[in-house]
Structure 1
Amino acid sequence: MGNNLADLLLINGNIITMDEEKPRATSIAVKNDTIVFVGKTKDALELKGSSTEVIDLKGQTVMPGFIESHIHPTMYGLNLLQIDCRTENTPSIDEILKKVEEAAKDTPDSEWIKGWGWDDSKLAEKRNPTRWDLDKVAPNHPVVLTRTCTHMAVVNSKALELSGITEETQDPSGGHIEKDSQTGEITGLLQEKAQGLVALPELTFNDILKGMQLAQNDFAKWGITTVHDMSTQKSDMEVYQELLSNNELNVRVRPWYWAVSQNEWSGLLDEVLSLGIKSGFGNDMIKIQGMKFMLDGGIGGRTAALSEPFEGSQSRGILYYDVEEIAPLMEKALLADLRVAIHGIGERAIEVAIQSFEKANKKKDITSMRNRIEHCALPTTEHLQRMKKLELVAGSSIGFLYHIGDSYLANLGPERVERVYPHKSFKDHGIVAPGNSDLPVTGGNPWTGIYAAVTRKTISDQTLDTKQNVSLYDAIKAYTVDAAFSSLEEQSLGSIRPSAKADLIVMAEDPFEIDIEQLVDIQIEKTYLGGKVVYSREQDVPSLNSGQDHMEIQNKQ
Structure 2
Amino acid sequence: MHEVLTSFWRAALEPLDLIIHNAVVYPLGPSLEKHVGLIGVQKGVIVYLGRQDEVSGLRKPGTKVLDAGGATVLPGFHDAHLHLLGLASRLISLDCTATAVTSLKELSYTVSGLVKRTPPGVWIRGWGYDDSALTEGRHPNRNDLDSVTPVNPVKLTHRSGHAMVLNSAGLRAVGIRGETPDPIDGRIERDQDGQPTGLLFEMDEYVDSRIPRLSSSELTRGIEFADSWLLSHGLTTVQDASALNNASRWDLLSSFIQNDKIASRVVFMPGIQNLNDFVDRGLMYGGGSPKLWLGHAKIVMSTITGEIMPDPGAELLSSLSAAQRRGFPVAIHAVEAHTVHAVAKALKDHANPARGKVVHRIEHASELPPESFREIREAGAMVVTNPGFIYYSGERYQRAIPADDHQWLYRIGSLHNAGLDLAFGSDSPVEMPNPLVELYSAVTRRTQAGNMLGSPNEGVGVEEAIRIAIQGGARAAGASRFMGRIRPGMLADMVVLNQDPFDTNIGQWNENKVLATVINGQVVWEG
> TM-score scaled to structure 2, two decimals?
0.90
Q: Distance in 2 between matches of 1:451 and 1:489?
A: 25
Instruction: Work out whether 1:153 is the aligned partner of 2:164.
Output: yes
Instruction: Work out whether 1:410 is the aligned partner of 2:399.
Output: yes
Change (3 A) 1:20 1:4: farther
Report the CA distance between 1:32 and its aligned residue.
1.9
Partner SS, residue 35 of structure 1? strand
The aligned residue for residue 470 of structure 2 is: 480
Q: Deviations over 1:411-436 (max 9, x none)?
A: 33222221212111111111111011
User: Superposition pairs for residues 245-260 of structure 1, below 5 Å?
Assistant: 245-260=258-273
The aligned residue for residue 138 of structure 1 is: 149
Q: Distance in 2 between matches of 1:470 and 1:412?
A: 23
The aligned residue for residue 200 of structure 1 is: 211
Instruction: Work out whether 1:349 is the aligned partner of 2:362.
Output: no
Partner SS, residue 482 of structure 2? coil
The aligned residue for residue 4 of structure 2 is: none
Change (3 A) 1:212 1:21: same
Instruction: Work out whether 1:116 is the aligned partner of 2:127.
Output: yes
- Letter of the aligned partner of 2:13 in structure 1? N
Partner SS, residue 217 of structure 1? helix
Report the CA distance between 1:292 and its aligned residue.
0.4
Change (3 A) 1:408 1:318: farther
Report the CA distance between 1:162 and its aligned residue.
2.1
Change (3 A) 1:193 1:54: closer
Q: Deviations over 1:467-493 (max 9, x none)?
A: 301112222222101111111212321
Partner SS, residue 138 of structure 1? coil
Instruction: Work out whether 1:282 is the aligned partner of 2:272.
Output: no
- Letter of the aligned partner of 1:334 in structure 2? Q
Change (3 A) 1:17 1:365: closer
Q: Distance in 2 between matches of 1:460 and 1:106?
A: 36
Q: Percent identity?
A: 28
The aligned residue for residue 234 of structure 1 is: 247
Q: Distance in 2 between matches of 1:6 and 1:221?
A: 25
After superposing the two structures, state which structure 1 stretch, 424-433 or 22-31, moved more.
22-31
Change (3 A) 1:238 1:120: same
The aligned residue for residue 311 of structure 1 is: none
Report the CA distance between 1:166 and its aligned residue.
2.6
User: What value does the CA root-mean-square deviation take over the aligned residues?
Assistant: 2.5
The aligned residue for residue 546 of structure 1 is: none
Count of aligned positions: 512
Q: Distance in 2 between matches of 1:20 and 1:98?
A: 55
Partner SS, residue 270 of structure 2? strand
Partner SS, residue 479 of structure 1? helix
Q: Distance in 2 between matches of 1:20 and 1:42?
A: 27
Change (3 A) 1:370 1:318: closer
Please say if residues 345 and 375 of structure 2, whose CA atoms lie closer than 8 Å, have aligned partners that are also in contact: no
Change (3 A) 1:204 1:100: same
Partner SS, residue 287 of structure 1? strand
Instruction: Work out whether 1:519 is the aligned partner of 2:509.
Output: yes
Instruction: Work out whether 1:332 is the aligned partner of 2:322.
Output: yes
Q: Deviations over 1:41-85 (max 9, x none)?
A: 235655333443332222112222111000001111122221121
The aligned residue for residue 396 of structure 1 is: 385
Q: Distance in 1 between matches of 2:288 and 2:43?
A: 19
Change (3 A) 1:91 1:400: same
User: Superposition pairs for residues 66-77 of structure 1, below 5 Å?
Assistant: 66-77=77-88
Please say if residues 345 and 376 of structure 2, whose CA atoms lie closer than 8 Å, have aligned partners that are also in contact: no
- Letter of the aligned partner of 2:505 in structure 1? D
The aligned residue for residue 464 of structure 1 is: 453
- Letter of the aligned partner of 2:226 in structure 1? A
The aligned residue for residue 359 of structure 2 is: 370
Partner SS, residue 171 of structure 1? coil
Please say if residues 227 and 261 of structure 2, whose CA atoms lie closer than 8 Å, have aligned partners that are also in contact: no
- Letter of the aligned partner of 1:236 in structure 2? R
- Letter of the aligned partner of 2:484 in structure 1? G
Q: 2:494 aligns with which of 481, 486, 504?
A: 504
Q: Which runs of 5+ in 1 are unaligned?
A: 261-267, 298-302, 306-315, 538-557
Report the CA distance between 1:453 and its aligned residue.
0.8
After superposing the two structures, state which structure 1 stretch, 469-478 or 231-240, moved more.
231-240
Q: Deviations over 1:260-304 (max 9, x none)?
A: 4xxxxxxx133334444321112211111131010026xxxxx5x
Change (3 A) 1:272 1:195: closer
Q: Distance in 1 between matches of 2:204 and 2:295?
A: 29
After superposing the two structures, state which structure 1 stretch, 527-536 or 512-521, moved more.
512-521
> TM-score scaled to structure 1, two decimals?
0.85
The aligned residue for residue 181 of structure 2 is: 170
- Letter of the aligned partner of 2:250 in structure 1? M
Change (3 A) 1:519 1:296: farther
Please say if residues 223 and 261 of structure 2, whose CA atoms lie closer than 8 Å, have aligned partners that are also in contact: no
Report the CA distance between 1:345 and its aligned residue.
1.0
User: Superposition pairs for residues 89-104 of structure 1, below 5 Å?
Assistant: 89-104=100-115
Q: Deviations over 1:83-133 (max 9, x none)?
A: 121222333333332331122122221211111111122234432222122
- Letter of the aligned partner of 1:511 in structure 2? P
Partner SS, residue 53 of structure 2? helix
Report the CA distance between 1:454 and its aligned residue.
1.1
Q: Distance in 1 between matches of 2:234 and 2:43?
A: 20
Q: Distance in 2 between matches of 1:124 and 1:38?
A: 56
Please say if residues 130 and 158 of structure 2, whose CA atoms lie closer than 8 Å, have aligned partners that are also in contact: yes
Q: Distance in 1 between matches of 2:461 and 2:110?
A: 41
The aligned residue for residue 264 of structure 1 is: none
Partner SS, residue 416 of structure 2? helix
Report the CA distance between 1:463 and its aligned residue.
1.3
Change (3 A) 1:158 1:371: same
Q: Distance in 1 between matches of 2:365 and 2:109?
A: 37
Please say if residues 347 and 381 of structure 2, whose CA atoms lie closer than 8 Å, have aligned partners that are also in contact: no
Change (3 A) 1:277 1:418: same
User: Superposition pairs for residues 204-223 of structure 1, below 5 Å?
Assistant: 204-223=215-234
Please say if residues 528 and 534 of structure 1, whose CA atoms lie closer than 8 Å, have aligned partners that are also in contact: yes
Report the CA distance between 1:517 and its aligned residue.
2.9
After superposing the two structures, state which structure 1 stretch, 269-278 or 499-508, moved more.
269-278
Report the CA distance between 1:190 and its aligned residue.
1.2
After superposing the two structures, state which structure 1 stretch, 245-254 or 352-361, moved more.
352-361
Q: Distance in 1 between matches of 2:122 and 2:224?
A: 24
The aligned residue for residue 308 of structure 1 is: none
Q: 1:188 aligns with which of 190, 198, 201?
A: 198
After superposing the two structures, state which structure 1 stretch, 122-131 or 335-344, moved more.
122-131
The aligned residue for residue 300 of structure 2 is: 294
Please say if residues 308 and 339 of structure 2, whose CA atoms lie closer than 8 Å, have aligned partners that are also in contact: no
Please say if residues 152 and 195 of structure 1, whose CA atoms lie closer than 8 Å, have aligned partners that are also in contact: no
Partner SS, residue 80 of structure 1? helix
Q: Distance in 1 between matches of 2:382 and 2:86?
A: 24
